[in-house]
Amino acid sequence: METIYYKRPRLSKPSMVAVWPGMGHLAKTAGDYLRRRLNAKIFAEIRYYQNAVIYVNGLAELSYVRHRLYASPKHDLIICVGEAQPSIPEEAYRLARQIIRVAEKFNVRRIYTLAAYPNDYQDTPGVYGIYTDERLRGLLLKQDIRLLEGEGAINGLNGILIGVAKNRGIEGICLMAEIKHTNIPQHFSSKVVLDKLASLLGISVDTSYLMKRAERFENLIRRRLSMKQEYEEYLKVDEKNLRYIS
């Protein structure tokens, strides 16, 4: 695992947003959308080497997963977008520590991670949150973010990163938006969680395009479900009309 720097952006005491692929493509969709809307530029990447080599026509190269780091000096923000999460907890912890080293290098004051919360919501996805410092509780409640009650666990880097951040004196918040489908892009949920994140960061992000994408996907899903129902009804009618001769 190594960190490669391409340049050093001018930042003051930035916040950091870190996302990885996950259920409903929620986090990575939101992170990629955010960096594009803010015109954030890549300044570094962390390479996590895998236990394999890849080859093309016999030529072998080391295989690694990239975790790209983008900066928006105008918004005093770092955005980390990873290609994949390590499958082994120890490796996820190592990667989290590597990201925290970058955060400390630029005096990051707070880290946000994003995740999905599977739930059959009615109209608008709700957004839940956990935090690493009691001082952040009121901040989340002010944005109508529901706090997770009782006891539980946040798996993967979404949870590990803010836990490691806490141990290093950096505040951490994990925002989770409700999703209905785990294997279909949930653009509406990405929009909702991004709206909350933007409010917490104190920046303006136009998420209208995400809403349009969400509407297109919803219409596509409705059409497919309608076609499936029509086909099932056709099969039922067809079975009734069958005649057997013996």
Quick check: 17 pLDDT over 90? yes
In a domain, 120, yes or no: yes
User: For residue 7, what pLDDT band results from cuts at 50, 70 and 90?
Assistant: very high
| 47, 1 Cβ separation under 8 angstroms | yes
Q: How far is CA 99 from the centre of its chain?
A: 16
Report how many domains make up the chain: 1
In a domain, 219, yes or no: no
Quick check: 231 pLDDT over 70? no
In a domain, 239, yes or no: no
Quick check: 245 pLDDT over 70? no
In a domain, 236, yes or no: no
In a domain, 187, yes or no: yes
User: For residue 240, what pLDDT band results from cuts at 50, 70 and 90?
Assistant: low
Q: What is the CATH number of the domain that holds 125?
A: 3.40.50.10900
The domain of 7 spans 2-206
Quick check: 193 pLDDT over 90? yes
149-170: pLDDT as tens digits: 888 888 889 999 999 999 999 9
In a domain, 158, yes or no: yes
CA dihedral (3, 154, 119, 205) positive or negative: negative
Give pairs for 105-108: CB < 8 Å, separation 24+: 106/9, 106/11, 106/14, 106/78, 107/11, 107/12, 107/13, 107/14, 108/13, 108/14, 108/15, 108/16, 108/78, 108/170
- pTM for this model (two decimals): 0.83
The pLDDT assigned to 216 comes to: 75
In a domain, 193, yes or no: yes
Dihedral, CA of residue 47, residue 191, residue 144 and residue 127, to nearest 10: -60
The pLDDT assigned to 222 comes to: 61
